[in-house]
């Protein structure tokens, strides 16, 4: 019985992904092989003749087949990096995207200033999913305390696991809530990456999004603004004096979301573009 070698499996993975039309097949092949076999990038390069046992090779081939079939790489791996944190994914959580990091980038200086001024900074993340935004803020601001909310028990369990895995559980709490429904008290920073896809567009999303990200984390209602209405209506009562609100938005929603928040007495502090130059986030204050 022949034994698979590491270098041969790398070639097999690269060819399969290339034939499936995957972008950057060589890079993804190295990532899949390394992650599935628990090997470092250096080992992949320097120890190609290493034999791989049949069970491990079978697991790897299953992962390759899933990726070739369109399953996103990070769904296969079960985790994704966000702002330097390794975050586990689950079927009930949106996969964090690099573009969302720009919201964290622009919130951080303002949140740090609040923490320095007050000695603490209370943050609430509505619709937290993996906990990505809140955990990124907590990891960068030692004085901050965070509350993560979601309508999904599984999402909250995933966020809690991610807090524990990154050593942030001592400053991280969760509550199951439909937006503001179960929320009391006031916060220095209110953040959210809510569903904002127009309902009629949902079926036209790429399959690697529609088939793997939870529908309710994407569908923003008939005009994509349902969640923003709820966020804007409740933000004033839950925001401390001199606090800030930060939300991710769709590329064509800046004006509409600004109007919703301004109607509730807020003013725009900053409009943020993503890595591709598209409107991506807004920061408000009273």
pLDDT band at 144 (very low <50, low <70, confident <90, very high): very high
What distance separates the 2 farthest-apart alpha carbons in the chain?
Answer: 73
pLDDT for res 125: 99
Can you give the pTM of this predicted structure? 0.95
Question: 129: domain CATH number?
Answer: 3.40.50.150
Query: Is the domain of 48 the same as that of 178?
Result: no
* Predicted confidence (pLDDT) at residue 154 exceeds the cutoff of 80: yes
102-130 burial, b at 16+ Cβ within 10 Å, e below that, comes to bbbebbeebbbebbeeeeebbbbbbbbbb
Query: Is the domain of 43 the same as that of 148?
Result: no
Q: Are strands 279-285 and 239-248 parallel, antiparallel or unpaired?
A: antiparallel
Residue list, annotated binding site for substrate: 193-196
Query: Is the domain of 185 the same as that of 268?
Result: yes
SS3 for 77-145, per residue? HCEEEECCEEEECCCCCCCCCHHHHHHHHHHHHHHHHHHHHHCCEEEEEECCCCCHHHHHHHHHCCCEE
Query: Is the domain of 39 the same as that of 88?
Result: no
Rounded distance, CA 200 to CA 193, Å?
Answer: 20
Query: Is the domain of 136 the same as that of 223?
Result: yes
Residue list, annotated binding site: 127-131, 150, 179, 193-196
Share of the chain above pLDDT 90, in %: 98
Q: Which domain holds residue 120?
A: 80-285
Residue list, annotated binding site for S-adenosyl-L-methionine: 127-131, 150, 179, 193
* Predicted confidence (pLDDT) at residue 1 exceeds the cutoff of 70: no
Share of the chain above pLDDT 70, in %: 100
Residue 156 is assigned to a structural domain of this protein: yes
Task: Using the Cα atoms of residue 4, residue 9, residue 15 and residue 17 in order, give the sign of their dihedral.
Answer: positive
DSSP β-bridge partners for residue 24: none
219 DSSP 8-state letter? B
């Amino acid at each position: 019985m022949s034994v698979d070698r590491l270098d041969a499996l790398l070639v097999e993975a690269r060819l399969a992904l290339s034939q499936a039309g995957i972008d950057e097949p060589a890079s993804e092949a190295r990532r899949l092989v390394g992650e599935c076999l628990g090997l470092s990038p250096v080992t992949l390069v320097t120890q190609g003749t290493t034999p791989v046992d049949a069970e491990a090779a079978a697991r790897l081939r299953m992962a390759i087949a899933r990726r070739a079939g369109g399953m996103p790489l990070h769904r296969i791996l079960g985790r994704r990096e966000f702002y330097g944190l390794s975050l586990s994914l689950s079927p009930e959580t949106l996969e964090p995207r690099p573009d969302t990091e720009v919201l964290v980038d622009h919130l951080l200086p303002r949140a740090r200033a609040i923490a320095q001024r007050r000695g603490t900074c209370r943050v609430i993340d509505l619709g937290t999913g993996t906990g990505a935004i809140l955990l990124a803020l907590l990891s960068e601001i030692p004085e901050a305390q965070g509350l993560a909310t979601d309508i999904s028990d599984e999402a909250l369990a995933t966020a809690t696991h991610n807090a524990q895995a990154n050593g942030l559980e001592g400053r991280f709490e969760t509550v199951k809530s439909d937006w503001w429904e179960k929320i009391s008290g006031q916060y220095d920073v209110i953040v959210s990456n809510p569903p904002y896809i127009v309902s009629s567009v949902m079926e036209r999303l790429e399959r690697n999004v529609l088939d793997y990200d939870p529908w309710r984390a994407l569908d923003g209602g008939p005009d994509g603004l349902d969640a923003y209405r709820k966020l804007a209506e409740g933000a004033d009562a839950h925001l401390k004096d001199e606090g800030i609100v930060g939300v991710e938005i769709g590329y064509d929603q800046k004006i509409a979301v600004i109007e919703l928040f301004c109607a509730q007495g807020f003013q725009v502090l900053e409009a943020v573009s993503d890595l591709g130059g598209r409107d991506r986030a807004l920061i408000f204050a009273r």
